[in-house]
Amino acid sequence: MKTIKIAIQKSGRLNEKSVELLKNCGLNFENYKSSLISKVTNFPLEILFLRDDDIPEYVQDGIADLGIVGENVIAETKVSTHTLQKLGFGKCTLKIAVKKDELISDIAELENKTIATSYPIILQDYLDKNNIKANIRTISGSVEIGPGLGLSDAICDIVSTGATLKSNGLVPFADVLSSEAVLITKNTNESSHLIEELLQRIQSVLRAKNTKYVVLNTHQGNLEKIVDLLPGVKSPTIVPLHEPGWLAVHSVIQESDFWPKINSLRKAGAEGIVVMPIEKIIL
């Protein structure tokens, strides 16, 4: 039987969430130890544990059928792959930052300045688009240390909480690229049913993650108002309570709508509202 391969990060920012996503898809496998390849025991899939920089090329060349990697890495490696699904983790922004006492507020002021980065290709594209000539100094890590050591006038690096910039006395002033982890495949029109099946499992896990299951009780007279607030996947399930005239309404709600809707539901006559996590939603 055919087996497909997925490449994920061996260790680092995306490893844990990538493993968790695959486990939530019902896949059983040993997590990476010394072996850099792991066989899934209940699906024809092998997991390759790689440095993230190598993942786009492995997928482009067909060595791995799928990969999980940050959009920033794909942009930097300039390979051609197809994004099947944004995964909602590893969210960060590539930003340009300067020392906080440096009075740069416009990107035109970067002209002839030196910018340290681990993302020279993305940065060069950005500078070209903005007609700026600057010197790019490529370093492989700890970029934020650059301006403090006099190595560069500015930096271009990944920012998430902003804590690393802050602790190095830097302030961001331009966003270059937003990124999150994505599921990629080879850039071709062909797909296999195994890729499709795994994609469907991943999508059902992601859908469930942003959605909650709600059960509430209400008097029959309030039902229409409540159903308007809780449309559900198709429509809510209504179950009679033992108490005459009372009903239980079962539905799903988007996590982001949760608090505003709970308040509106109470005003509309909902009582005993129970909210539960959902594991998967298969459409």
Ligand X SMILES: O=P(O)(O)OC[C@H]1O[C@H](OP(=O)(O)OP(=O)(O)O)[C@H](O)[C@@H]1O
| 278: exposed, middle or buried (Cβ count in 10 Å: 0-12, 13-18, 19+) | middle
The CA-CA-CA angle for residues 96, 101, 103, to 5°, reads 65
C-alpha dist (Å) from residue 172 to 101, 131, 154: 12, 20, 10
Residue 84 vs 156, nearer CB to ligand X: 156
Q: If binding is defined by CB under 6 A, does position 179 make contact with ligand ATP?
A: yes
Which of 72, 81, 203, 211 forms a contact with ligand ATP (CB under 6 A)?
A: 72
Residue 123 identity (one-letter amino acid): L
Residue 211 parent element (H or E): strand 211-219
| 128: exposed, middle or buried (Cβ count in 10 Å: 0-12, 13-18, 19+) | exposed
| Tokens 């909480």, residue located | 161
Which of 56, 90, 172, 236 forms a contact with ligand ATP (CB under 6 A)?
A: 90
Interacting span for ligand X (CB under 6 A) from 24-32, 61-69, 157-165, 225-233: 157-165
Which of 34, 35, 42, 161 forms a contact with ligand X (CB under 6 A)?
A: 161
* Contacts (CB under 5 A) with Mg ion, residues 38-57: 52-53
Q: If binding is defined by CB under 6 A, does position 244 make contact with ligand X?
A: no
Which residues of this chain interact with ligand X, rule CB under 6 A? 13, 141, 144, 157-164
Which residues of this chain interact with ligand ATP, rule CB under 6 A? 9, 12-14, 51-53, 70, 72-73, 90-92, 158, 160, 179
